[in-house]
């Protein structure tokens, strides 16, 4: 692994575990057993390192989801496995991570969220169309509208004003949004697959 990738991977783990604001370049250097100078030879500042760390995380998540869909029996199966994967991922992320990125890095957050939204909506449209072909997603839905609605609902998970951390767990929010939404767009055949999966 190249040193640049090692720094991105190491800092990503620290940001997720402890939040972003509390992590310094000195701490990252110490954790990785490298000099701070080495970090600055590869990244201008913490903002740039955070940007690449977040992008790497998005690429990794995309690859995992694609692998899930590749190895699933149908779209419902893939969606439910993706929900489970994302819920487990949320468990490993310190709530401070979401708070810090929205409060202290709003421009970076908006930029990456917008990029991620485009990719996510495109993927969701493809998935919904496949589900319609499999007769497990209702064919009367407007797939573009539904894809945008799903993406927008998931963005609410990290919104502290809507879902305060001390009142709702992100996993509970995520599962309630996901399962109920899938039930709403599923055919009877799709609903039976959901029941089978949950039994």
pLDDT of 158: 67
- The CATH architecture to which 72-198 belongs is Orthogonal Bundle (1.10)
CA 137 to each of CA 8, 53, 82: distance values in angstroms, whole numbers, following the listed order: 39, 35, 16
Q: At what angle do helices 106-133 and 143-155 cross, to 10 degrees?
A: 140
Please write the tens of the pLDDT for every residue from 48-62.
999 999 999 989 988
- The tokens describing 112, both together, are 């990456």
Lowest mean pLDDT among 58-72, 147-161, 171-185: 147-161
Beta carbons of 80 and 197 less than 8 angstroms apart: yes
- CA count, 13 A, side-chain hemisphere, 15: 24
CA distances (Å), origin 118, targets 75, 122, 143 = 20, 6, 14
* Cα angle 64, 176, 81; round to 5: 25
78-115 confidence digits (pLDDT tens): 988 888 888 788 778 888 898 899 899 999 888 887 78
Q: Where are the domains of the chain?
A: 1-52, 72-198
Partners of residue 137 on adjacent β-strands? 186
* Superfamily classification of domain 1-52: Homeodomain-like (1.10.10.60)
pTM, to two decimals = 0.79
């Amino acid at each position: 692994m190249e040193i640049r990738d090692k720094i991105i991977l190491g800092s990503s783990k620290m940001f997720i575990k402890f939040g972003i604001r509390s992590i310094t370049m000195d701490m990252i250097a110490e954790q990785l057993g490298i000099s701070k100078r080495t970090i600055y030879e590869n990244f201008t500042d913490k903002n740039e390192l955070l940007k690449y760390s977040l992008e790497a995380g998005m690429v990794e998540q995309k690859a995992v989801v694609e692998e899930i869909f590749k190895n699933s029996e149908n779209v419902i199966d893939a969606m439910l496995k993706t929900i489970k994967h994302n819920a487990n991922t949320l468990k490993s992320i310190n709530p401070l991570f979401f708070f810090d990125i929205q409060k202290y890095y709003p421009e970076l957050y908006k930029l990456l969220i917008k990029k991620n939204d485009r990719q996510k909506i495109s993927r969701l449209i493809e998935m919904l169309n496949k589900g319609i072909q499999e007769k497990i997603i209702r064919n009367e839905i407007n797939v573009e509208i539904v894809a945008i609605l799903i993406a927008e609902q998931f963005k609410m998970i990290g919104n502290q004003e809507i879902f305060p951390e001390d009142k709702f767990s992100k996993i509970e929010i995520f599962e309630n949004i996901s399962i109920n939404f899938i039930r709403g767009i599923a055919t009877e055949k799709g609903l039976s697959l959901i029941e089978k999966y949950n039994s």
